[in-house]
Amino acid sequence: MSVSPSLSRRRRATGAWLTRARRSGSHEQNLVLGILKSALAATLSWYIAHDVLAAEAPAFAPFTAVMMMQVTVYRSAVQSLRYIGAVLLGIAVQAFLAFTAGPDVLTFALVTLLTLVIARWRFLGEQGTQVPTAAFFAFSVFLTSSGFDGRLMALGEIVLLVAIGCGLGTVTNLVLFPPMRHRSVEWTIGSLSHSMCDLLGDVARSLTEGDLDESRSEAWRRRAEALESEVEQARASIRTAWESLLFNPSRLVARHRKHATFEGYEQLVEALGRVAAQVGSMARALHLWADDDRQTAHREFMSRFGEVIGSVGQITRTLSDLDEDRLSEQAVRLCELAGEARERVEALTLIPRQEDPPPFDDLTQPYGVLLIEAQRLVDEMQYSCDIVKYYVDERDRR
């Protein structure tokens, strides 16, 4: 029985996902581990709250534990402290007003007003919204309890359950496979490089085939502008990677020591950011020239320029498959490709058999501008390759 193409694609996609999930430090593996750790922390919190303490509202503990399962140990610790602080403030405001003024609708309105103001406190960060939330839950518990001591115990129980959830969530994230985010950095660099590779490949094919038009160049310009958002994502992944080192015992394990620094990746992301800006400048130059009737002149130069862009695209193709475990061989390959791109740039001004060389000094025509763009683009790519080579050499010396 034949298998439908869509089913076959889903099977291949599932198989590829499972393969990546077995790869140490991959996004897919981090996702699986995060789910398993959250389930474990929630279960332990529920057991302590329900079976050991016999709490009236045990769900507070597992709910909090799952919330504290952050992408880094440092973030789990910081968010736990902020969450507990927000809950304490919310319950304190509610308890003071309810005990002094009584649990009526006017008191609830005042509690809401004050906690919403406190929620704006910058120190609480994204946990500020928990101040009114905690106050609302506390108000509900206050109404269902009786007597001063009973109400005080019920509110104290909420604080205890939240503390248990925060503690177990943070400790679970710390003890069980604490996340190191070097693979996430590789993935975002690879994604950025892949987008560049696709764009540069399209530009190279069109120029070498002499097929440059306004609509196509307009699409290139938009795609080049979109690269900036991917650069920002890569920068964010670097910040998360540095954060993952804080309070993380994994950095002391031998197999993780080589990942306990991200200087090389950080420099590479900044270099690729400059490359993206240069690609955008080149795309704008081509778009401005696309509707000019003179673009058919000096076709050989445009074809050679397309070959330069294609060479740069080969560099980004290698960067899109960046892998810490294969970085040494990739560094060698990057240096070779950078050398080839450099030779192609130099050949732009030495096109053989040209009786009418391009007017590089005529600013009304694109040739001088494109020559400069090609030189700058190759310079930035050369620097990116040098960063990878330097990082490999430094790592091997450690």
pLDDT tens digits, residue range 329-382?
888 999 999 999 999 888 877 755 555 666 676 666 777 888 888 899 999 899
Q: Are 202 and 130 found together in one domain? A: no
Answer whether residue 8 shows pLDDT above 90: no
pLDDT confidence of residue 210:
77
Mean pLDDT, range 225-240, rounded to an integer: 87
DSSP per-residue codes, 54-82:
--SSTTHHHHHHHHT--SSHHHHHHHHHH
Q: Which residue has the tokens 């394990």?
A: 253
Write the DSSP string, 219-251.
Answer: HHHHHHHHHHHHHHHHHHHHHHHHHHTTT-GGG
> Mean per-residue pLDDT for 250-264?
56
Residues 207 and 250 in one domain: yes
Please count the structural domains in the chain: 2
Backbone angles phi, psi at 75, to 5 degrees: -70, -35
CA–CA separation, 90 and 30 (whole Å): 34
User: Is 74 within a domain?
Assistant: yes
Structural domain ending residue among the three candidates 175, 210, 243: 175
Do 306 and 359 reside in the same domain of the chain? Answer: yes
Q: Clarify whether residues 54 and 160 are in a common domain.
A: yes
Residue type, 360: F
Please tell me whether residues 229 and 375 are part of one structural domain.
yes
Per-residue confidence band for 27, with pLDDT thresholds at 50, 70 and 90: low
> Do residues 225 and 370 both lie within one domain?
yes
Classified as helix, coil or strand, 183 is helix
Q: Helix crossing, 105-118 with 73-101: angle to 10°?
A: 150
1 in a structural domain: no
6: in domain: no
Q: Would you call 337 helix, strand, or coil by DSSP? A: helix
**Stretch (H or E) spanning 137:** helix 130-144
What is the spatial distance between Cα 235 and Cα 233, in angstroms, rounded to a whole number?
Answer: 5
Residue 153: predicted pLDDT: 92
249 and 129 belong to one structural domain = no
Cβ–Cβ < 8 Å for 305, 347:
no
Of 140, 175, 210, the residue at which a domain comes to its end is 175
pLDDT band at 257 (very low <50, low <70, confident <90, very high): very low
Asked if residues 208 and 303 have their Cβ atoms less than 8 Å apart, the reply is: yes
221 and 96, same domain (yes or no) = no
- pLDDT, one tens digit per residue, over 278-317 is 998 888 888 877 665 555 556 778 888 889 999 999 999 9
Whether residue 196 is found in the same domain as residue 73? no
- Quick check: is 3 in a domain? no
**Token pair for residue 338?**
């950078």
Give the Å distances, CA to CA, from 251 to 226, 237, 247, 254, 272: 35, 18, 9, 8, 27
Q: Are 270 and 371 part of one and the same domain? A: yes
* Distance (Å, whole) CA 162 – CA 260: 33
CA dihedral of residues 249, 253, 256, 260 (deg, nearest 10): 60
CA distance 27 to 20: 8
SS3 content of the chain, % helix, strand, coil (to 5): 80, 0, 20
Q: Which contiguous run of DSSP H or E holds residue 143? A: helix 130-144
Contact by Cβ (8 Å): 127, 86: yes
Q: What is the mean pLDDT of residues 387-393?
A: 85
Most confident of 18-22, 54-58, 68-72: 54-58
Residue burial 71-103, b: 16+ Cβ < 10 Å; e: rest: bbbbbbbbbbebbbbbbbbbbbbbbebbeeeeb
Domain at 237, CATH number: 1.20.58.220
What pLDDT, in 10s, does the model give residues 88-113?
999 999 999 999 988 899 999 999 99
Same-domain check for residues 190 and 145:
no
Which residue segment(s) compose the domain that 336 sits in?
182-397
Structure tokens at 153: 């115990």
Cα–Cα distances in angstroms (integers) from residue 66 to residues 47, 57, 128, 394, in the given order: 14, 16, 18, 39
Q: Looking at the structure, do residues 114 and 223 belong to the same domain, yes or no?
A: no
